[in-house]
Amino acid sequence: MPTIGWFEILIIVAIAIVVLGPKDFPIMLKKVGSWIGTAKKYINNIQNEVSNIDTEENHLEKKEEKKDES
């Protein structure tokens, strides 16, 4: 997987400033930051739900094992 270094990031920022203009660039950064934050929250929620499902399955398996032992 390719890695992005500081030089590549600097080039992308410079191109973005030229394309968007210096006035609209900070607004676009805020929007992109908001989108990234929303995506991270969404992914975090999915990970928590999967973890909860896994935990519930483990509890059910343990209960079944205890019933089988009795």
Q: Kindly report the three-state secondary structure assignment for every residue of 7-39.
A: HHHHHHHHHHHHHHCCCCHHHHHHHHHHHHHHH
55 dihedral zone (left: phi>0; alpha: psi -120 to 50; beta): alpha
- The better pLDDT of the pair 41, 4 is held by 41
Q: How do residues 12-64 score in pLDDT, each as one tens digit?
A: 999 999 999 989 999 999 999 999 999 999 999 999 998 888 888 777 777 77
CA distance to 37, 46, 48, 57, 70, per residue, from 52 (Å) = 22, 10, 6, 9, 27
Q: What is the pLDDT of residue 42?
A: 96
Task: Indicate the domain borders of the chain.
Answer: 29-70
Eight-class DSSP state of 5: -
